[in-house]
Chains A and B, each alone.
Chain A
C-alpha cells in the first residue's frame, strides 16, 4: 500500500517536473526575445532621437515646410515634440514586436498536439485582450470622472464629487464585467452581478441628483406658476422707499 502511494507520488512529481522542464525553454525564449527587442528598441529610439535633433526636425516641421502636419502631430506629441513622439513610437513598436516573437517562440517550443499549448495560447490572447480592456477602461473612467467633477464644480453642483465618483464606478464596473466576460470567467453570475451593480449605481445617482436638486426644481416651478399680480386701478399703490439704483452687472469680456 505504502509502496503504491510512494510510486503514485513519484510519478506525479516526475510528470510535473517534465511539464516544467518542457515549459522552461519556451519561457526563456519569450524572455530572451523580449529583452533583445527592448534593447534594440532603446538603441533605435536613441539613434532616431539624436538624428532628428541633429537635423532640427521639430523646427522644420513647425515651419511652413509641411503645411497641415505640424499642428496635428504637435498636439499628440509629448511636450509638443514630434521628435520625442517618433522616438517613443519606435521603442514601443520594437517592444511589441519582441512580445509577438516571444509568444511565437513559446508556441513553437511545444509539440502541435500538446494539450497545454492548445489551452494556454488562446487564453494568453484572451488575457492580453482583457488587460487592454482594463487599462482602457481605467483611463476612460479617470478622464470622465475628472470631466464630470470639473464641469459640476463650475456649474455649482454641491454633489460634484459624488457625481464624479458615480460616473467613475459606472465605467469601472462596466470595464470589469467586460474583462471577465472576455476571459470567460463567471458566465451568468458576472452578467447578473453587473446588472445589479450598474442598476444600483444609476439608481443611487438618480436619487442623489433628484434629492440634491429638489430646491432648485421647486424654485423653478414656483417661478413658473406664480404670475405677477397687478394692482387694481382703484387701489392706491403702497408707498415704497426709493430703491437704490441697481449695481452694474459685471462683464467678463
Chain B
C-alpha cells in the first residue's frame, strides 16, 4: 500500500525538517509519547530502552531532552502531539500525528502512549510491539485490570456496543494506549485528514471500529495489575455526553458495515443465565442513582416517548415500582434502550444534547442494577459484563430492523 498524503495542519509536524532518506533509521518500532514533564522523561526513556534491549527504537516526544545520547538505542524525534480536551484517552490529533510519523519513517509498529501519569510497563510495551510485528495484528490494545465498580460506561455501553455491532471482543474500545500496524496507521491518516482540516483534533476516534470496518485484525493483551487512568475532569454529565455522542456518531457513520457484519461466535450456553442477585442492601450511591431514575420516570416521559417504544416504557414503569433492594434492570431491556437512543441519534428525533441528557438517568438505573448484582465481587462483575454484552448481541436484530424500517416501530 502506498503512503498517504496528509493535509498540512498546525497540529501536524509539517513545519519540522523532514529527514532525508540517508538519515532515516532502520528502527521498526515507533513510540509516540504524550506531553511528559521534563523531569519524568528520563525514567520513561529508560523504560522504553529496557523494553527493547539492543534494538533501535524511534521515540517521538514533544520536548526531547538534551542528553539524548544517554540512550544510544533510542532515536529521539520531535513530534507535536495534540493532547485533547477530553484528555485521558487518545484522540484524532494523536492518531493523525502518529500516523504521519509512521508513514514518514516507515515504521512497522507504532505505539501510542496516552496516559502521562502512569509509569510505563516495559513488558506490556514489548508485548504490544511484538503482537503487531510477529503476529501481524493491526491493532493491539491493552486490557486493563478492572475493579468491580470501575469503568462502568465501558462495561455498560462501549464494550457491549463495540462487540455486538463490530464483532470486536475488545474491553476498552476507547484506548488509552494502542499499538498500530503500518496498514492501520495509513488508514487512520486518511480518515483523520478531514477532521484535522476542520480543526477537530480533540475529537474522539474509535480505532476498533475503523479497523473492523477495514477488515483489519484487532486483539487485546492483558495489562497485568494496571488500572485504567481516570479522566481529569469530574463533570460526569458532560463527559458522558461527549463519549456517547462520539460513539453514536461513529455507529451512524458505519451503519452500512455493522448491518452486514456478523458478530462473534456464540459463547457456551452456561454463560447466558443471569447471576443471582446478591442479598445486599442498596448503598447510598445506589439509592441516589435510583432516585434520579425515579425523578426521570416522573418527569421525562414526554422525551422518552419520542425515543422509546411502548414496551420499553412499560418495562421502565415496572422497574420504577421496585424497591431499591430489589432493583434489577434486565440486560435485554438495557440493550434495547441503548439501541433506541442510537437510532434516535441517527434520526435526529430531538436535539442531541437533550437526547443524551435524557439517557443519563437510564444509564444510572443500569449502574444501580449492575452494582447490586456485582456486590463488589470481581468474578461476578466480569460475568455480569459478559451477560450484558451477550444481550446486546442477541438484540442486534432489533437495531437492524429499527434502523431499516424506523416507522414500523414508531410508538
Contact = CB atoms under 8 A, between A and B. Distances in A.
Interface string B362-376: 000001000100001
A232 interface: no
Given A156-B292, A160-B295, A247-B283, A146 B149 contact: no
B358 A67 contact: no
A64 B190 CA distance: 10
Nearest to A249: B149
A149 B236 contact: no
B354 A158 contact: no
Interface in B65-94: 88
B283 A153 contact: no
A156 B237 contact: no
A7 interface: no
A247 B374 CA distance: 12
B7 interface: yes
A143 B350 CA distance: 10
A227 interface: no
A151 interface: yes
Contact of B154 (A78, A161, A249, A253): A253
A80 interface: yes
B292 A153 contact: yes
A113 B239 CA distance: 65
A79 interface: yes
Contacts of B193: 64, 67
Interface residues of A, number: 28
A250 B371 contact: yes
Interface string B220-237: 000000001011000011
B216 interface: no
Contact of B354 (A67, A79, A147, A249): A147
Interface string A145-166: 0110111011010101100100
Interface string A38-54: 00000000000000000
SS class, residues of chain B in contact with chain A: helix
Interface in B1-33: 7
A69 to B, nearest CB: 10
Interface string A54-96: 0000000000100110110000001110000000000000000
Contacts of A80: 252, 346, 348
Contact of A78 (B7, B299, B348): B348
Interface string B264-298: 00000000000000000001010010011001101
A27 B320 CA distance: 58
B152 A252 contact: yes
Given A153-B295, A153-B296, A251 B150 contact: yes
A146 B154 CA distance: 28
Interface in B192-239: 193-194, 197-198, 200, 228, 230-231, 236-237, 239
A154 B357 contact: yes
Contacts of A71: 198, 200
B398 interface: no
Nearest to B285: A250
Contacts of A149: 299-300, 303
Contacts of A252: 151-153, 236, 239-240, 367
B361 interface: yes
A21 to B, nearest CB: 49
Nearest to A145: B302
A68 B347 CA distance: 23
B311 interface: no
Contacts of B291: 156
A238 interface: no
Nearest to B375: A247
Given A67-B198, A153-B299, A156-B295, 11 more contacts: A67-B197, A68-B197, A78-B348, A80-B348, A143-B351, A149-B303, A154-B360, A156-B291, A161-B298, A161-B299, A251-B147
Interface of B: 7, 88, 147-154, 193-194, 197-198, 200, 228, 230-231, 236-237, 239-240, 243, 252, 283, 285, 288, 291-292, 295-296, 298-300, 303, 346-348, 350-351, 353-354, 357-358, 360-361, 367, 371, 376
Nearest 9 pairs of A and B residues by beta carbon:
A150-B357, A250-B149, A67-B197, A251-B150, A253-B231, A153-B296, A161-B299, A252-B153, A252-B152
